[in-house]
Amino acid sequence: MTSYEEFLQKTEEFMFISDQPEKADIIFIPGNGYPHMAEKAADLYKKGFAPYILPSGKYSITAGKFSGVLLKEAVYDKEYQTEWQFLKDVLMQNGVREKDILKEENATFTWENALYSRKVTDEAGLSIKKAILCCKSYHARRVLMYYQRAYPETEFLVCPSFPDGISLENWRESQKGIQEVMGEVSRIISQFSLMMD
Protein backbone atom coordinates (compact mmCIF):
# COMPACT_ATOMS: atom_id res chain seq x y z
CA MET A 1 0.00 0.00 0.00
CA THR A 2 1.38 3.42 -0.95
CA SER A 3 1.46 6.33 1.49
CA TYR A 4 -1.31 8.00 -0.53
CA GLU A 5 -3.55 4.93 -0.33
CA GLU A 6 -2.81 4.58 3.38
CA PHE A 7 -3.75 8.24 3.92
CA LEU A 8 -7.10 7.72 2.19
CA GLN A 9 -7.79 4.55 4.16
CA LYS A 10 -6.93 6.16 7.50
CA THR A 11 -9.01 9.21 6.59
CA GLU A 12 -12.14 7.22 5.86
CA GLU A 13 -11.67 5.01 8.93
CA PHE A 14 -11.50 8.16 11.05
CA MET A 15 -14.25 10.20 9.39
CA PHE A 16 -17.03 7.67 8.87
CA ILE A 17 -18.68 6.25 11.99
CA SER A 18 -21.74 4.03 12.12
CA ASP A 19 -23.14 2.20 15.15
CA GLN A 20 -26.08 -0.07 15.70
CA PRO A 21 -28.73 1.81 17.69
CA GLU A 22 -29.29 0.88 21.31
CA LYS A 23 -31.75 2.05 23.94
CA ALA A 24 -30.71 5.61 24.86
CA ASP A 25 -31.84 8.60 26.88
CA ILE A 26 -32.09 11.00 23.94
CA ILE A 27 -31.47 11.47 20.21
CA PHE A 28 -29.53 14.55 19.11
CA ILE A 29 -29.79 16.15 15.66
CA PRO A 30 -27.30 18.93 14.80
CA GLY A 31 -28.84 21.72 12.73
CA ASN A 32 -29.06 21.33 8.96
CA GLY A 33 -31.43 21.77 6.03
CA TYR A 34 -31.80 18.10 5.07
CA PRO A 35 -34.80 16.14 6.40
CA HIS A 36 -33.02 12.77 6.37
CA MET A 37 -31.40 12.98 9.81
CA ALA A 38 -34.68 13.99 11.48
CA GLU A 39 -36.53 11.25 9.57
CA LYS A 40 -34.00 8.72 10.86
CA ALA A 41 -34.36 10.09 14.39
CA ALA A 42 -38.16 9.81 14.15
CA ASP A 43 -37.85 6.20 13.03
CA LEU A 44 -35.57 5.36 15.97
CA TYR A 45 -37.93 7.16 18.35
CA LYS A 46 -40.95 5.24 17.08
CA LYS A 47 -39.01 1.98 17.53
CA GLY A 48 -38.50 2.90 21.18
CA PHE A 49 -34.79 3.68 21.15
CA ALA A 50 -35.19 7.01 23.00
CA PRO A 51 -37.99 8.99 24.66
CA TYR A 52 -36.75 12.46 23.62
CA ILE A 53 -35.28 14.11 20.55
CA LEU A 54 -33.31 17.36 20.64
CA PRO A 55 -32.84 19.08 17.28
CA SER A 56 -30.46 22.02 17.55
CA GLY A 57 -29.93 25.01 15.33
CA LYS A 58 -30.75 28.58 14.42
CA TYR A 59 -29.01 28.80 11.06
CA SER A 60 -25.52 28.68 9.61
CA ILE A 61 -23.30 31.48 10.88
CA THR A 62 -21.92 31.90 7.35
CA ALA A 63 -25.36 32.38 5.75
CA GLY A 64 -26.86 34.51 8.52
CA LYS A 65 -30.31 33.03 7.88
CA PHE A 66 -31.98 29.65 7.37
CA SER A 67 -30.89 28.70 3.86
CA GLY A 68 -33.97 26.62 3.17
CA VAL A 69 -34.94 22.98 2.79
CA LEU A 70 -32.32 21.17 0.72
CA LEU A 71 -34.31 18.10 -0.34
CA LYS A 72 -37.99 17.00 -0.26
CA GLU A 73 -39.18 20.61 -0.44
CA ALA A 74 -42.62 19.46 -1.58
CA VAL A 75 -43.08 17.49 1.65
CA TYR A 76 -41.60 20.03 4.04
CA ASP A 77 -43.00 23.16 2.48
CA LYS A 78 -43.61 25.59 5.35
CA GLU A 79 -41.82 28.87 5.98
CA TYR A 80 -39.04 28.02 8.44
CA GLN A 81 -37.01 30.71 10.16
CA THR A 82 -34.59 28.35 11.87
CA GLU A 83 -33.13 24.89 11.46
CA TRP A 84 -34.89 23.87 14.68
CA GLN A 85 -38.32 24.86 13.27
CA PHE A 86 -37.62 22.83 10.15
CA LEU A 87 -36.34 19.76 12.02
CA LYS A 88 -39.26 19.91 14.47
CA ASP A 89 -41.70 19.88 11.54
CA VAL A 90 -39.92 16.89 9.98
CA LEU A 91 -40.10 15.04 13.29
CA MET A 92 -43.79 15.78 13.80
CA GLN A 93 -44.70 14.82 10.24
CA ASN A 94 -42.95 11.53 10.92
CA GLY A 95 -44.86 10.65 14.08
CA VAL A 96 -42.90 12.23 16.94
CA ARG A 97 -45.06 13.74 19.67
CA GLU A 98 -44.48 17.46 20.16
CA LYS A 99 -44.00 17.04 23.91
CA ASP A 100 -41.01 14.76 23.26
CA ILE A 101 -39.19 17.30 21.09
CA LEU A 102 -36.84 19.55 23.05
CA LYS A 103 -35.83 22.98 21.78
CA GLU A 104 -32.44 24.52 21.03
CA GLU A 105 -32.79 27.37 18.57
CA ASN A 106 -29.66 29.50 19.02
CA ALA A 107 -26.74 27.45 17.66
CA THR A 108 -25.06 28.67 14.47
CA PHE A 109 -22.32 26.02 14.10
CA THR A 110 -21.65 22.47 15.22
CA TRP A 111 -19.79 23.16 18.46
CA GLU A 112 -22.67 25.43 19.51
CA ASN A 113 -25.12 22.61 18.66
CA ALA A 114 -23.36 20.45 21.24
CA LEU A 115 -22.72 23.16 23.83
CA TYR A 116 -26.21 24.65 23.74
CA SER A 117 -27.83 21.21 23.72
CA ARG A 118 -26.01 20.52 26.99
CA LYS A 119 -27.59 23.64 28.48
CA VAL A 120 -31.04 22.47 27.38
CA THR A 121 -30.71 18.99 28.86
CA ASP A 122 -29.20 20.35 32.08
CA GLU A 123 -32.04 22.86 32.47
CA ALA A 124 -34.56 20.07 31.85
CA GLY A 125 -32.92 17.99 34.58
CA LEU A 126 -32.09 15.14 32.21
CA SER A 127 -29.24 12.76 32.96
CA ILE A 128 -27.82 11.66 29.62
CA LYS A 129 -25.94 8.41 30.12
CA LYS A 130 -26.35 7.17 26.54
CA ALA A 131 -27.31 9.18 23.45
CA ILE A 132 -27.79 8.66 19.73
CA LEU A 133 -26.42 11.15 17.21
CA CYS A 134 -28.27 11.46 13.90
CA CYS A 135 -26.02 13.32 11.48
CA LYS A 136 -24.68 13.24 7.93
CA SER A 137 -22.29 10.35 7.24
CA TYR A 138 -19.05 12.29 6.75
CA HIS A 139 -20.01 14.87 9.41
CA ALA A 140 -20.01 12.10 12.02
CA ARG A 141 -16.50 12.50 13.44
CA ARG A 142 -16.78 16.25 14.03
CA VAL A 143 -20.26 15.91 15.53
CA LEU A 144 -19.10 13.08 17.79
CA MET A 145 -16.03 15.01 18.95
CA TYR A 146 -18.07 18.08 19.87
CA TYR A 147 -20.88 16.23 21.64
CA GLN A 148 -18.37 14.10 23.55
CA ARG A 149 -16.68 17.30 24.66
CA ALA A 150 -20.01 18.77 25.83
CA TYR A 151 -21.11 15.47 27.44
CA PRO A 152 -17.89 13.80 28.65
CA GLU A 153 -19.80 11.32 30.82
CA THR A 154 -22.10 10.12 28.00
CA GLU A 155 -21.78 7.10 25.71
CA PHE A 156 -22.64 8.06 22.12
CA LEU A 157 -23.88 5.98 19.22
CA VAL A 158 -23.74 7.46 15.73
CA CYS A 159 -26.60 6.57 13.35
CA PRO A 160 -25.75 8.43 10.14
CA SER A 161 -27.80 9.37 7.08
CA PHE A 162 -26.73 9.85 3.47
CA PRO A 163 -28.78 12.76 2.08
CA ASP A 164 -26.31 13.54 -0.69
CA GLY A 165 -25.36 9.91 -1.33
CA ILE A 166 -21.81 10.18 0.04
CA SER A 167 -20.78 7.13 2.04
CA LEU A 168 -17.72 5.24 3.25
CA GLU A 169 -18.00 3.00 0.19
CA ASN A 170 -18.16 5.68 -2.51
CA TRP A 171 -16.70 8.99 -1.29
CA ARG A 172 -13.50 8.53 -3.32
CA GLU A 173 -15.43 8.02 -6.56
CA SER A 174 -16.54 11.62 -7.15
CA GLN A 175 -15.00 15.05 -6.92
CA LYS A 176 -17.88 16.13 -4.69
CA GLY A 177 -17.30 13.24 -2.31
CA ILE A 178 -13.59 13.97 -2.03
CA GLN A 179 -14.20 17.69 -1.53
CA GLU A 180 -16.85 17.15 1.14
CA VAL A 181 -14.84 14.62 3.16
CA MET A 182 -11.59 16.57 2.93
CA GLY A 183 -13.50 19.73 3.79
CA GLU A 184 -14.61 18.04 6.99
CA VAL A 185 -11.03 17.04 7.78
CA SER A 186 -10.01 20.68 7.31
CA ARG A 187 -12.81 21.92 9.56
CA ILE A 188 -11.84 19.52 12.34
CA ILE A 189 -8.33 20.98 12.24
CA SER A 190 -9.34 24.63 11.93
CA GLN A 191 -12.04 24.43 14.62
CA PHE A 192 -9.99 22.46 17.12
CA SER A 193 -9.34 25.56 19.24
CA LEU A 194 -13.08 26.10 19.71
CA MET A 195 -13.26 23.11 22.05
CA MET A 196 -10.36 24.36 24.13
CA ASP A 197 -12.23 27.45 25.43
pLDDT tens track for 95-107: 999 999 999 999 9
The pLDDT assigned to 69 comes to 83
pLDDT at 156: 98
pTM of the model: 0.91
Architecture of domain 9-196: 3-Layer(aba) Sandwich (3.40)
Portion of the chain with pLDDT greater than 90, in percent: 67
> pLDDT tens for residues 15-74?
999 999 999 999 999 998 999 999 999 999 999 999 999 999 998 877 778 888 888 888
Contact status, residue 86 vs residue 33, Cβ threshold 8 Å? yes
111-170 pLDDT, tens digit each: 999 999 999 999 999 999 999 999 999 999 999 999 999 999 999 999 999 988 998 999
Amino acid occupying residue 1: M
Domain spans of the chain, in order of start:
9-196
Nearest to 51 by CA among 79, 85, 23, 70: 23
CA angle 86–91–97, rounded 5-degree value: 125
In one-letter notation, the amino acid at residue 98 is E
Residues 6 or more apart whose CB falls under 8 angstroms from that of 51 comprise 25, 26, 45, 100
